[in-house]
Amino acid sequence: MQTYRIDESGYTGFDLLNDAQRFQGASAVSISDDDARRLVNQHFPRLQAPELKYRALSRRPQNHPRLTKLLKDLLSDFSSITYVCDKRFLLTLMFVDYAVEPFYHDLKGPDLYQDGANFGMASLLHVAGPTLLGGRELFDNMMMAFQTAMKEKTSEAITKLVKAARATNWRELDEVMGPLAGFAYPGV
């Protein structure tokens, strides 16, 4: 059985709108304990810490070539995958999945999961929403209310979300915003 080691960076808990950490990244590497120890000892023989921390190691210019060689060895000799996501887009995609898609699903409307239509709708909302819906502040208020409603799952939080959606120029993106702002659809 293959074992993968996984690590992430940019974790902000439920707050996907945190400007200080806009992106989330994660990597997984299939590597044994012995191989990991061997690589650490090979590239950082004087390391005293129990684990490698990129931020700490990258602060010293003399570590840059070692980090590059370590990455080269990892990527050439071990199975790995890395992803980076924009957390604001992720929140917008969640908005489509929880506040829009159930409306269309229940009404037997278009299947937003067919051919990635949910990603297309989220991309449209993410890029054009702040402008079309009346400005970044109104858009961010709505997304913050959505984020809170998803965490708290109370009727008060959902009411605040509907109010925040209705405070925008939601009719400019009626296909996306209508289920929540127009109908206060209970999918959230």
Secondary structure (DSSP) of 17-79 = T-GGG-EEEEEEEE--HHHHHHHHHHH-TT--SSS--HHHHHTSGGGHHHHHHHHHHHHHHS-
pLDDT score recorded for residue 188 = 57
pLDDT for the residue numbered 186:
66
Rounded Cα distance between 44 and 109, Å, is: 57
pLDDT of residue 166: 97
**Cα pseudo-dihedral 19, 161, 185, 22, rounded to 10:** 0
d(CA 77, CA 130): 44
pLDDT at 47: 83
How many whole angstroms from its chain centre is CA 8?
A: 12
Longest dimension (CA), the chain: 63
Does residue 6 sit in helix, strand or coil? strand
Residues 6 or more apart whose Cβ sits within 8 Å of residue 12: 18, 20, 21, 24, 87
Compute the distance between CA of residue 112 and CA of residue 96 in angstroms, rounded to an integer.
9
Per-residue pLDDT of the chain (188 residues; tens, 9 = 90+): 788 888 888 677 788 888 888 898 889 999 998 998 899 999 999 888 878 888 888 899 999 999 999 999 999 999 999 989 999 999 999 999 999 999 999 999 899 999 999 999 999 999 999 999 999 999 999 999 999 999 999 999 999 999 999 999 999 999 999 999 999 876 55
What is the helix (H) or strand (E) element at residue 81, kind and residue range?
A: strand 80-86
β-pair partners for 22: none
Domain limits, the chain: 4-86, 87-182
